Amino acid sequence: MKYVVRDEKTVFNDHYKVVKAQVAYETFNGDEITTKRLAFERGDSAAILLLEKETNSLLLTNQFRYPTCKHNVGWLLEIPAGTIEENESPQQCVIKEVKEELGYSIVNPEHISTFYVSPGGATERVFLFYKEVSEMDKTEKGGGNESENEDIETVKISISELANNIDTLRDAKTILAIQWFLLNKK
């Protein structure tokens, strides 16, 4: 099926960007729809699920997320993640984020999936990875990047407690990663 994007222009450009375009696309019955659409462009990100072997625990972050305040939440348990910078691979990004957020040094994380977060309105893709680590891999303090005003707590959830905690999670990439783990590694 075919589509055409016309008259794409930036309508908002700050920390993130919003673009507006006229799009025409072929319908399933062979007709064509022409309409205007907006897309939120925040860049792609990389995320990782870490299993600490000695404790048989998944390593999560607990951090403040302003957009969740609208729903009276504030802090979320999540897997480590970050925005992929220009000239940075998803793998390089996730290695950097694990060190910044949790203090663990990792190499060669396993890519398990790439998916859209909210394809109806956002261009962002998440590159999802998995890695088993040792307590010996904790080489730094973690806690986030001070220059970005991050304050991140490390949370360990044992595999035996996982089933009792999964319904308390509110972050989609974390839920997807844990579901992958339960299907493939447990």
Number of Cα atoms under 13 Å in the Cβ half of residue 132: 7
Does 110 count as an annotated binding residue?
no
177 annotated binding-site participant: no
E strands present in 1-148:
3-13, 17-26, 32-41, 45-52, 57-64, 75-78, 81-83, 110-116, 125-133
CA distance linking residue 177 with residue 161, whole number of Å: 16
Q: What does the DSSP assignment read for 48-66?
A: EEEEETTTTEEEEEEEE-G
Check whether 101 is labelled as a binding-site residue: yes
CA torsion, points 57, 58, 61, 65, in degrees to nearest 10?
Answer: -130
Contact 37, 119 (CB under 8 A): no
Q: Are the beta carbons of 68 and 147 closer than 8 angstroms?
A: no
Annotated binding site for Mg(2+): 81, 97, 101, 150
**Residues within the annotated binding site?**
81, 97, 101, 150
